[in-house]
Structure 1
């Protein structure tokens, strides 16, 4: 079980520091119905990530378990592809950042601005859909491979999934907890956080993708 958690932790950080869901959470919290809509948004995100992780873990459990030496061609292939996919996404973002260097920061996309006026039900759908983006799919494929083939029993798999989901969604849950604990003092910090992320989200996301992509790629190479 400790080995599963150790493999899952860095992958979950890729989910946790995905800037788009965080920005959306902040915009929802700043909206008139932010407190209730943020809860349904988090519930939708949790359901989406739990479902995705469970399905991919079940599929990965069909792969042969690693040999005593740690080698596993199937696991190696999946992790190498996932790692290279994440590095490719990071490379595309670096190229885009270089093209727009020196330009004023781009404003929040129109679809994000509309999020600030959605109610609880649409917020649930937004949270669900954002967990199914290609980057999350690659990360969760790697998480499923880290859990499924090596889990000795269902409890190991469940613990691995729970750790992955809880850590992955911790950055969405934290603003909600703060907003409910001290609603009168959260607006200014949230607005500052949104302004900072609007200016730096591409850099943060790219660094996280590079680091996690290298970790997953390195894990795949150890299974060759």
Structure 2
């Protein structure tokens, strides 16, 4: 299990570093009905991450991601493709640096104060499934888990650890709010302001690092 966990850590961190998700959770927490809506948002996120990971890990097992203790031949090619996609996403983010919209809230978040539990649940899930970065990293984590070990217990443990780490971006702001109560508002507002201002730069650096990781893994798997 340790080998699998070590390989998926970067992918789980790649999911949890999600500026839009952090911004959404903070806005939900500071809006009316914040606690119940924040819980629903976190549930939507966790269920979406868990569901995608489980399905893709099962498909990877069926298609031979692990063969005689080694990754299947297609795994390296998959990692190369993911790396190339992330490289393209990096260039796109770099081009958006200095965009006139940088530093402003996305339009989809401007009515969060009117959200109910259902809206919050749906938004949490949507920010997973509609984000190419999250989907590619969950897929990479699922394939890596399936190819790193043949033991069901090890795969399940690695999957649980992946989901836990991938969900820190929604759980940490909620934990700060519940632990600090009113004192958390200043902290959360500073986090929100900083993240909104530097969203494109954060994502450009993250995409570049994740791309290098996937390309390196793919190349090493082919040599």
- TM-score interval, smaller chain: over 0.9
Is 2:185 the partner of 1:187?
A: yes
Shift in alpha-carbon separation, 1:164–1:104, aligned structure 2, 3 A: closer
Is 2:117 the partner of 1:125?
A: no
The answer to whether the 8 A contact 2:96-2:200 is kept is: no
For the residue of structure 2 that corresponds to 1:108, the secondary structure is coil
For the residue of structure 2 that corresponds to 1:182, the secondary structure is helix
**Counterpart selection for 1:172 from 159, 170, 173:** 170
**Counterpart selection for 1:160 from 155, 158, 161:** 158
The answer to whether the 8 A contact 1:63-1:75 is kept is: no
- Count residues in correspondence: 220
Equivalent runs, 1:64-79 vs 2, <5 Å = 64=64, 65-66=66-67, 72-79=72-79
Give TM-score, length-normalised by structure 1.
0.92
Q: Deviation string for 1:61-91 (max 9, x for gaps)? A: 12332566x5642001111111111121111
CA shift for structure 1 position 205: 1.4
The answer to whether the 8 A contact 1:26-1:190 is kept is: yes
Shift in alpha-carbon separation, 1:188–1:222, aligned structure 2, 3 A: same
Mapped to 2, the partners of 1:44 and 1:153 lie a distance apart of 29
Q: Deviation string for 1:16-45 (max 9, x for gaps)? A: 111111111111111011111111100110
Mapped to 1, the partners of 2:71 and 2:162 lie a distance apart of 24
Corresponding residue of 2:82: 82
Give TM-score, length-normalised by structure 2.
0.93
Corresponding residue of 2:45: 45
The answer to whether the 8 A contact 1:71-1:222 is kept is: no
The answer to whether the 8 A contact 2:102-2:200 is kept is: no
For the residue of structure 1 that corresponds to 2:114, the secondary structure is coil
Q: Which runs of 5+ in 2 are unaligned?
A: none
Mapped to 2, the partners of 1:88 and 1:66 lie a distance apart of 31
Point out 4+ residue stretches in structure 1 off by more than 6 angstroms.
none
For the residue of structure 1 that corresponds to 2:110, the secondary structure is helix
Shift in alpha-carbon separation, 1:104–1:23, aligned structure 2, 3 A: closer
Q: Deviation string for 1:104-162 (max 9, x for gaps)? A: 84411221111232112210111011111222111111111101133322211111111
The answer to whether the 8 A contact 1:41-1:126 is kept is: yes
Mapped to 2, the partners of 1:104 and 1:55 lie a distance apart of 36
Corresponding residue of 2:2: 2
Alpha-carbon RMSD: 1.7
Corresponding residue of 2:11: 11
